[in-house]
A and B are shown apart, each in its own frame.
Chain A
Amino acid sequence: MRKITGSLAGRLLLASVLILPLFLGLVGYNLDRSYRLGLEAALEQRLQLHVLALLAEAEYAESLWLPEQLLEPRLNQPDSGLYAYITNAEAELLWSSGSAITLGYYPERRNLATGSSSFSRRDALFDYTYRVLWQTEDGVEAHMLFTVLEDAEPLEAELAVYRRSLATGLGGVSLLLVLCQALLLYWGLRPLRQLARDIDDIEYGERDNLDGEYPSELQALTRSLNTLIAGERLRRERVRNTLGDLAHSLKTPLAVLRSGKPEQSGFEALVKEQTDLMSQIVDYQLQRAVGGSHRLLGLVAVTPVVQRLRESLLKVYSAKNLQIDVAVSENAVFRGDERDLMELMGNLVDNACKYGEHHVRIGATGGGTAPLKFWVEDDGEGIHPKMRPVITARGTRADTRQLGQGIGLAVAVDIVDSYRGSLMIDDSPLGGALISVELP
C-alpha cells in the first residue's frame, strides 16, 4: 500500500479502482431497475389486452358463458403459464380457463372499484384483475372480477439475460476506463519523467540546465532548479579556479625558495617573506572559495552582526582607545549567508580599526526589496587615489598583490563580487578611507 501511494500514478489508479466499482454499481442498479419496470409495464399491458379479449368473448344472459375454445390458445392449454378466472364480487368462482386446471382456485377477495384494475405480483405469478359491472338486456346488473395470471418465469429469464449482458458491458467499460486512465496518466505524467531524465542528464554532464518546454505547473520548480544548478556551477567553477590559482600562485614563492641558497646572507629573511606570502595566498584563496552566490538563502539582519563585530573589535583594539560609532538602520537586511556578511563586514571594520587613529564609523540602510548599502570609515591616512582601482579591480590575484597590503579588502571585494554588488573607496569626512558597499 505504501508503495502504491508513493507514486502519483499509483495514487490516481488506486483511487479510480476504488471509485469506479461504486459508480458502475449504481449505474448497473438503475439500468436493471428501469428495464424491469419496463418489462412489467409491458406485461401489464399484455394482460389487460387478454382481459379485454375475454370480455369480448364472454356473454351473460342469466349466467356467465364463455366458449369452450378461447381465441387465445394459451388459455386453453393446461400449464401454459397464462391463466384466467372470473369471480363475482364475493370472490366466488364463476369461470376459469382451461389452462388453470392444474393451478386450482387462485383469486382472492379484494376491494376494487368498478372499472378499475390492479396489477401485482404474487409469488411466481403476475396478477391483473379488472372489475366490471355487467348489465344484461333485462336490466340485471352483475359485478364480476376478471383476473388474468401470467407466469413470472419468462420475465425473470429475460431479465437474467439482460443482467448478464449488462454486467459484461459494464465490466468491459470499466476495464476500458482503467486502461484509458493508465494511458492518460502515462501521458499526463510524461513531463515529470522527462524532468527526471533531464536532471539525470545534468548529473551525467550531458546538458547544462533545464531548458526544455515544461508545463506551466512545473515551471516554478524548473526555474528554482535552474537557479540552484547555476549557483552550484558557479561554485564549482570558483573552486576549480581557486585550485588553479592556488597551485599557480604558490609555485612562484616555491621557486624563489628553491633557488635561494641557505649559506647566503638574508636567506632567513627570504624564507620568512616567501612563507608569509604563501600563507597569505592560501588564506585569500580559501576565503574566495568559501564565498559564492546564495540566491536561495534568507535574510540576515545587519544590526546584530555589526554589534557583535563592534564588541569584538573594541576588545582586540582596546589598546587604541577606539571610538566605534554605529548608525545602522533597524530594518537593514542582507540577502545571503550570515558568514559572508560577517566576513565582509569583519574585513572592512577590522581594516578601519587597524588603520584608523581613534574614530571609526559604520552605517547601513536598505535591504530586502531595496538594495542594501553600507559604509565603513575611519580617521586614518586613507587610501591613495592611485591605489583605489587596483584594489577594487575584479579578479586581482593574490600573487600579483604586494606583500603587506593585506588581504582583507581583497576578500571583501570578492564577496561583494559574488553577490553582484559594488565596492567604492572614497575619502571620509573623518580624514581616512570611506569604503561603501552596495548589494542588490
Chain B
Amino acid sequence: MRMLIVEDEAQLRLQLAQHFSEAGWVVEEAADGPEALYMGSEHPYDLAVVDVGLPGVSGVEVVRQWREQGNTFPVLILTARGDWQDKVEGLEAGADDYVTKPFHLPEVQARINALHRRSAGLASDRVSFGPITLDLAARTVAVDGVALDLTTFEYNTLEYLATRAGTVVSKTELTEHLYDQDFDRDSNVIEVFIGRLRKKIDPQNTLKPIKTVRGAGYRFVLDGSR
C-alpha cells in the first residue's frame, strides 16, 4: 500500500510518515506543491494525504491537477482553517475527505482506513473469503478464527491480492504498490514472499487461495470471494 504525504511542515510530515510506516504503509513524502505534482504523476499511489496550505502550489490545486491527469487514488486533505468554504473547495477539486488541524493521529488513521476500504469497494473493515478473514482496520488475518502472525509485507501482499480477488495482479504492480522505490525489481523476492504467505495461510495446502498465472502474475481465488 503506497501512500504519499504532502505536508510542508517537516515535524508534522515526519510524524505522519512514521505513524503510517509503522502501520504498514509504504510512505513517500513531498514538502511542496510542485514536488507533489511530480510524484503524483510519476508513481502509482493507493492514497494521498495533502495539506491545503502548501507553499508554491496550494494543496487544492495539487489535487485538482492530479484529477485532471486522471489519477483516481483517494485523497485526504488536511486543513488548518476548517472553514466550510475551504473544505468545499478542497472536496470540489477532487479530494475525498478532510481532517481539520490540529488532529489526533488515530482520527487520521480512521479516515484513511475508511477511504482505503471505500476505494477497494468494501462496505466493512472485515472481509471474509471462506475460512480466511481479513480485518482491514486492525490489519490482521485469521483462518478458521485463528489469528495468523504475518509480517507487514506479507499482510500487504495478501490484502492487495484479496481486495482485488478474481483479477490477475502482475509482479510489477505488486512491487510498485507494496515496496520501497529502491526495491530490486529483478529479484525473486516476490516469489519468496508469496511462497511464505502460502505456507502461513494454508499449511496443509488444501485451500490454495493464491494462484500463479504463468507469465502474468498472481490471482486470489477462494470460495466466498467475489
Cβ contact within 8 Å between A316 and B82: no
A308 at the interface (CB under 8 A from B): yes
List A312-347 residues whose CB lies under 8 Å from chain B: 312, 315-316, 318-319, 338-339, 342-343, 345-347
State whether A316 and B85 are in contact (beta carbons under 8 Å apart), knowing that A279-B102, A283-B100 are contacts in the complex. no
Task: Give the contacting residue for B118; candidates A275, A308, A318; CB below 8 A.
Answer: A318
Is there contact, CB below 8 Å, between A342 and B96? no
Report if A316-B97 is in contact (Cβ < 8 Å); known contacts: A308-B88, A309-B88, A343-B85: yes
Give the residue name and chain of the B residue nearest to A344 (CB). Answer: B84
Q: Give chain A residues whose Cβ lies under 8 Å from the Cβ of B102.
A: 275, 279
Determine whether the beta carbon of A342 is less than 8 Å from that of B84: yes
Given A312-B88, A346-B84, A346-B87, the answer on whether A272 and B97 have CB atoms closer than 8 Å is no
Supposing A279-B102, A311-B92, A319-B118 touch, asked if A345 and B97 sit within 8 A by C-beta, the answer is no
Residues of B within 8 A of A308 (CB): 88, 92
Contact of B91 (CB < 8 Å), options: A272, A275, A315, A319:
A315
Q: How far is the CB of B53 from chain A (nearest CB, A)?
A: 15
From B91, B92, B97, residue with most partner A Cβ within 10 Å: B91
Distance, CA A345 to CA B83, complexed state (A): 11
The number of chain B residues touching the other chain, given as a range, is 10 to 19
Q: Provide the residues of chain B in CB contact with A338, threshold 8 Å.
A: 85
Nearest-neighbor residue (CB-CB) of B124 within chain A: A319
Asked if A315 and B84 make an inter-chain contact with CB atoms under 8 angstroms apart, the answer reads no
A290 to B82, CA, bound (A): 12
- Bound CA–CA A347/B100 (angstroms): 14
- In the assembled complex, the CB of A172 is this many whole angstroms from the nearest CB of chain B, namely 70
- Cβ of A292 to closest chain B Cβ, rounded Å: 14
CB-based contact B84/A309 at 8 Å: yes
With a cutoff of 8 Å between Cβ atoms, the chain A residues found around residue B91 in the complex are: 311-312, 315-316
Interface residues of A (CB under 8 A from B): 272, 275-276, 279, 283, 286-287, 290, 308-309, 311-312, 315-316, 318-319, 338-339, 342-343, 345-347, 350
Selected A-B contacts with CB under 8 Å, 8 pairs:
A283-B82, A309-B84, A338-B85, A342-B83, A342-B85, A343-B85, A346-B84, A346-B85
